[in-house]
Every structure is written in structure tokens, then in C-alpha cells.
A and B are shown apart, each in its own frame.
Chain A
Amino acid sequence: MTDTSAAGTGAEPLRVARLRPGALVAGLVAVLGAMVIGMALGPVDIAPKLIVYELLDDLPLIELDSGLSAQRVAIIEQIRLPRVVLGFLVGATLSVSGAAYQGAFRNPLADPYLLGIAAGAGLGATVAITQDWGDGGGFTDPVPLAAFAGALLAVVLSYTAGHVGGRSTASLILAGVAVASFLTAAQTYVLQANSDAFREVYAWILGRIATSGWSEVVLMVPYFLLAAGIVFRYRRALDVLAVGDEEAQALGLEPRKIRMIVVLAASLGAAAAVSVSGLIGFVGIIVPHAVRLAFGASHRVLIPLSLLFGGAFMVLADLVARTIVEPAELPIGVVTAFLGAPFFVLVLRTSRRSVW
């Protein structure tokens, strides 16, 4: 046994899990790179350098002449920039929500749609589309609003039902399964009764990052900030929850309360993401797991990096979705799975970490 008086003095300081600058820079480079490429490519190709000039010129105190025509400036600022920003917001929100769910439920298979959000949003959107509730676009577009309402309804139902059968996380997950089945059945019924809307509903379900100017971005930003902000604030608490509820409580936390706050914040974010983009699967599972395998399982690292890499991944997926079969668009959910699955298998096979 070592002498206690000498303990700690002269020893190496403890290295703790935290976001290393290198990883943060890698994430930021991925986001900016994906956004510039996302804006450069399309029916009209624009040199990335000129896009950077043009955007820097918009900042205060910076004067730069990109030499682009007014038409191209409009393409960048009114069509492509809002689209890449929305893609980033949706990808970042879904990834952070997924990471939060996985941490809060201590379950690697938890995804942002766990509590029936997908089914609820699907029902809401299906009702709005089949009932032809007008198409105002932006704030007044009934499809995202109905999807958002449906998603929140699902979360409330799951939470209410899950607390009846006990207070374990498993009962909440099972309640989510029941609520999802019920709402999916309701959605199928509505759709069968209005089969002429099949194509439109199907296209919505497969997901797309489509914008009409900046209105969807404006719609999404507050939910993104709220969800990401709350989950980020609880990142250390999520690390403590990794030892289970009993030990977390013995360490002075209130696990049930923390889980409820984190899950509701993540659900709100996921519901907003679904309402503007449809059901984009895979991102909320694959991005957090890839980050864990590459950078470690601590939520102090996982939450910020999931946000950045999730956003970058979605911008790139959207780029592929809208360019690979021009002038048509692939549903983005197809692209995220098609690119994401092989990439994830690669990470899974090359990583030496054991994160669960």
C-alpha cells in the first residue's frame, strides 16, 4: 500500500473525458465543408470559393466581391443556403435526440422515434394531406403543423401509458411500441380510405429536405435550440445515469426526473424535425454510434459531436438525394440508409472500442 501523505502529489494529473479541440475542429470542418459543397452543387454549379466570398460579404465589416450575377446570388441565398441550413438543423436535432434517448434509456437501440413520434407524425401528416387542408407553406402549412401535433400526441400518450404499468424504463418503451402500433393502424386506415393521396403521403413519409425560402428554418430553429440546449446541459448527468438508476441516485441525482426532462426535450426536437422533413430514419441511431466508436462514449463528447456530424451527414445526404437522379429527387430517407449503413458497418468493424 502506498503512503497516503504522498498520494496525489507529483502524480500525473487525471485525464478526464472531455471534448478534445481536435475532435471539435474536425466536426466544425465537416459541417462547413458539407454546407459549402451542398451549396456549390446542383442544376447550376457554382465554384465553392465564390460561395464563400459571397457569404463572407454578407457579414458586417467584410467587403468581398464574388463577381456572381444577381441570379446566382439569389440561388445561393434564397434556395441553397436555407436548404443546407435546414438539413443541418434536422440532422443535428435527430442525432442529438437519438444520443439523448440512448443515454436516458441506457439502450443502444433507442432512436428519436422510440415513443411513437414517427407514427404520430405520420398520422398527423396523412390526415392533413388526405383532408386537403390547404397548402399555405411556412408557418401556416398544415402538413408540418399536423405532423408536429401528431408527434407530440404520441409522446404524451406513451408517457401517460408508460407510467400506469410501473415506473421502469422498459414499461415506457413498451408503451411507446403500443402507441406506435395504434397510431400506425389509424394512419393506415385513413390512407386506405383516401387511396388517391397514397403517392403524396408516401413521399412525405420517406422524407425530404424541401424549403420554400427561410420559413422552415425559422420554424425549426427554436426547437433545435431548446432540444440541443437542454440535452447539452444534461450531458454530465447522462454520464452518471450510465451506472443505472439506483447507483445514480446513490450519487445524489434524481434519475427519473432527469430522464423525463431529457426525453421530453429530445422528443420536442425530434417532433419538430419530423414535421419539416418527414420520417428520416437511421440518422438518430447511426450518427451517435459512429461518434461513440470514433471518439468515446462520454456524453460530454457525444452530444456536441453528434450535433455537428449529424448535421453534416444530413447536408451531404440531401446533396446526394437531389443530385444523383437529377432533375428528380430521391427520398432522403433512402439516401441516409443507403450511405449510412455501409459506413456504419465500416466503423463498427474497424473500431476497437467497446461502448455498450
Chain B
Amino acid sequence: MNYKAVIIGGSAGSFQVVTRILNSLPKDFPLPIMLCLHRLKHVRSGFVEALSLKSSIPVEEPFDKDSMKPGKAYLAPANYHMYVELANRIALSTEDTVNHSRPSIDLSFITAANAYRDKLIGIILSGANKDGALGLKKVRDNGGVAIVQDPNECEVKTMTQSALQLTSVDYVYTTDQIINYLQKLR
């Protein structure tokens, strides 16, 4: 296996896509998946339960300094940024919002790119602001794989288009193609 982690960022219109991806993964998916999705600050519960309903792998909201394990998905908790810390651990932060967002997709992607370098797969999905563009650039600059959901398929195109404007990417994929790509990781 050439990779150590997958990180997915999304906002408006990404929930269905993430659900489809999680539902289609093999149970023994070989990598941890970090999910940084914009969400309401004050709603603490419900989101992880909704994502878990049909997911083939466990989805959890991590506590600070939890270790990431292959075959598990980690959803950034409400009103925290989610970073990658040394030794595969998650670190949470209450730093200021970035692009009006906490969790910030940029910060999650940048810290993951610093930790995993060319062993990271970063995916930007549908969304309504430019958060994630800078982060995906960092993934790409550090030699990781940069994937953007096909804007034509996105419910809201702003996030994917901002990413495509800022950085070159490896693939522009539909949801089906993203699923196909992830299923082939062995």
C-alpha cells in the first residue's frame, strides 16, 4: 500500500456524496478516512449517526489525541478544527475560524499533508465556499493525490471550482469514479 490516509472535505451538497462513498467501501478498507465537513456549530449530535446508518466502516467523532486506525472514518467534531498530530494521532483545536469555518477543511488538509506527504489522498466535494482549495494545493504540492468531484455533478460548485482554480489536480471524478478509485486501493 502506497498510502497512509484519505481525507475528504465538503460542505453544502456533500452529505449525499459522502454517504454514498461510505456505503460503498469494502469493510476492510485499508486506510483511515478523515472527514472534514462543514456543519452547524451548536448541533453536537446526529451527524455521525446519520453518516453511520449504512456506512460499511465505523464512523466516529474523535476525541483529542485519538489514534487513527485503518478502516475507520473520523468526522471532525462540531466547533473544533481537526488536525493530524505526530504518530497518527488526531489533535483538535479551537483556533479562530478560517473561511468562516470551524472545522476548516484547509487546516485539516494542510496538517494531513504535512504529516503524510505523498502518502495522502485528498478529495474535495460539493460545497458553497472556497475552504479546501488551499488545503488541496498543499496535498498536491507535497506529492499526494488530489481529487476533485466533477463540478458538473456538484449540487454547489463553488468549492470544487475554487480548488480547480488554485491548483492542478490528479483527477476530476464523478462520485461513481471516486468510489471506484477508493475500492481499488489495496
A and B: partners? no
Chain A interface (Cβ < 8 Å from any Cβ of B): none
Chain B interface (Cβ < 8 Å from any Cβ of A): none
